[in-house]
Amino acid sequence: MMAELIEISEDIAAKIKDRSILVLSDAYPPYNTGGAEVSLHAVLAKFPASIRRKILVCTFAGQVGEPLITDILGINVVHLPEPAPWPYLTVTRSKSDFQQKRSSFLLGANWYERLIRKKEAFTAPNSARIKAVLNHTLDNPSGGIITDEFIDFRDSRVRTIRSLASHMKAHDLLFADNTRSILLGAVLQSEFSFRDSVAVVRDNRFHCERPTQSRIVAGKICTTCDFQCAREDAPNAINARKANLQYTRNKRRASLKSYNKVVVTSFELERHISPLLGTNQQLERIPNTYGDALQIDNLIECTGQKPTKNLIIIGMLNENKGQLAFIKAAKTWLKQRPDVRLILCGKGDRIERQIRKFADEHGLSRQIKPIGFRSRESIFEEIRRATLVLAPTVWPEPFGRVPLEAGLARRAIVAFGVGGLNESITHGITGYLAPPGDYTAFLDYADELLKDGCKRLKMEKRAHSFVSARYNAEEITERYFKLAFDHLINDNEQSS
């Protein structure tokens, strides 16, 4: 039995009544400007006005308590409230906060927490699995907890999007951008008959069920998966965690198979995703785009390189991105080069504390500077101030956006040859790719480019040309358009 719809305002209903293309995205500008969101918006914004008028983007924003509609370049974007944390997914975060405060006052916080979790566990169809999560996995901070796989018709997100879809003029296309949206869209497809559907896979979650997606267990990259991460993440509940991961795998793969067409952003993802698809599903590889080239040029044209040798690492501070491991490996190298400054651009309080402590203990505080999260504009300014971009990433990340930003800002990059970085960097041409984990080779490449300004300048120019030609929004928009949107123009012409 389906849960009731969540009511939307008359204003939103009136604005979306002529829409026929539903785009689902975890986040979208202006509330989020991450790599995936920038790429998606850059593509949609370049579509003809006749197509943009048909699009309704549904996304989520923690800043809103009720559905909010905005217009971005003729595209209607409905920003939806985020759901409450599991197991309260049937309500929004703001409503859950209110309910918890009221009930905690009446019952006491601990008793209310136990009551709601027991209620969710015993009323859900998959109660045995939920109880296993509650009893074993939830209390294990090292491995996290998987929750998106509980998405069904009771979920507040599904109920709201169903309401929006029911007010649309037609259902020509469902376009789901990345994992959570693909899961939500799979539920919707059981109720609405979309003429076509596209799933865009941008991360590892369809072939790595571990919450971190790192595919690294005990310091080694996974090959054949037998859920060996369960032993590391939940040593006291290995079987419960394996069952959880198996359920996650089944749910994700079944959701992906409900789409007619699947897009991946790299050869790395194509290699993992192609074996998961059905015989009638079409697979396309379309990389992320860097966005608006003119806008980026305007951001960086007034920013010059600093006289000090600034080396910048961009990305969340965590084990996957490898900042702390790099600093430990480069300790002596940095001490021998007092004119070098290492700028860390990204958030991550836990790792930042460890980095600062290590720097203090080894006399490197003056050379290592974490600057926290920065806006996209500020990131380009920091890259331009730097002499060199470093990417000591240890996990096989699926795409890797930093080489695009480095190339556009005309800076060379040194990275480990892992995952998608092997595609967005051409070794010896646009940057250097060191063997994974070989910090000696990595630092030797950095030294070479710091000492040889002529070679660095040539590499910077080639990097700019390479990125501009391969990842420009115009070409990538055209590929998406031919894949899923072209027939909508033809339909318009025939109907008129």
Q: Are residues 462 and 487 part of one domain?
A: no
Q: Are residues 154 and 201 part of one domain?
A: yes
Give pLDDT tens digits for 432-467: 999 999 999 999 999 999 999 999 999 999 999 999
Residue 275 is assigned to a structural domain of this protein: yes
Residue 19 is assigned to a structural domain of this protein: yes
Q: Is 399 left (phi over 0), alpha (psi -120 to 50) or beta?
A: alpha
Q: Are residues 308 and 388 part of one domain?
A: yes
Please give the Cα distance from 262 to 284 (Å, whole number).
6
Q: Are residues 189 and 231 part of one domain?
A: yes
Q: Are residues 342 and 387 part of one domain?
A: yes
> Which two three-digit tokens encode residue 105?
């006052």
* pLDDT of amino acid 151: 81
Please give the Cα distance from 73 to 485 (Å, whole number).
18
Helix axes 93-107, 109-123, angle to 10 degrees: 120
Give pLDDT tens digits for 107-142: 444 544 555 555 554 444 455 555 555 544 444 445
Q: Are residues 430 and 480 part of one domain?
A: no
* pLDDT of amino acid 60: 84
* pLDDT of amino acid 136: 45
Residue 308 is assigned to a structural domain of this protein: yes
> Which two three-digit tokens encode residue 482?
């031919």
Q: Are residues 427 and 325 part of one domain?
A: yes
Q: Are residues 432 and 416 part of one domain?
A: yes
Can you list the alpha helix ranges (DSSP code H) found in 134-228?
156-166, 179-189
Q: Are residues 274 and 386 part of one domain?
A: no
Residue 135 is assigned to a structural domain of this protein: no
- Give me the CATH number covering residue 302: 3.40.50.2000
Judge whether 4 and 159 are in contact, CB under 8 Å: yes
Range of the domain at 257: 10-84+148-289+475-495
* pLDDT of amino acid 260: 96
Residue 2 is assigned to a structural domain of this protein: no
Give pLDDT tens digits for 367-398: 999 999 888 788 888 999 999 999 999 988 89
The two counts, helices (H) then strands (E), for the chain are: 22, 16
Q: How far is CA 452 from the centre of its chain?
A: 36
- Strands of the sheet containing 309-314, edge to edge, are 368-372, 340-345, 309-314, 388-391, 413-416, 431-434
Judge whether 26 and 59 are in contact, CB under 8 Å: yes
* pLDDT of amino acid 105: 46
Q: Are residues 272 and 300 part of one domain?
A: no
* pLDDT of amino acid 141: 44
Residue 463 is assigned to a structural domain of this protein: yes
Q: How far is CA 364 from the centre of its chain?
A: 32
> Which two three-digit tokens encode residue 212?
């971190």
* pLDDT of amino acid 242: 83
Q: Are residues 32 and 63 part of one domain?
A: yes
* pLDDT of amino acid 41: 86
* pLDDT of amino acid 114: 55
Helix (H) or strand (E) holding 80: strand 75-80
Q: Are residues 303 and 221 part of one domain?
A: no
Domain count, the chain: 2
Residue 193 is assigned to a structural domain of this protein: yes
Please give the Cα distance from 419 to 262 (Å, whole number).
20
**What parts of the chain have a pLDDT lower than 50?**
1, 103-109, 111-112, 121-125, 135-141, 493-496
Residue 203 is assigned to a structural domain of this protein: yes
* pLDDT of amino acid 218: 80
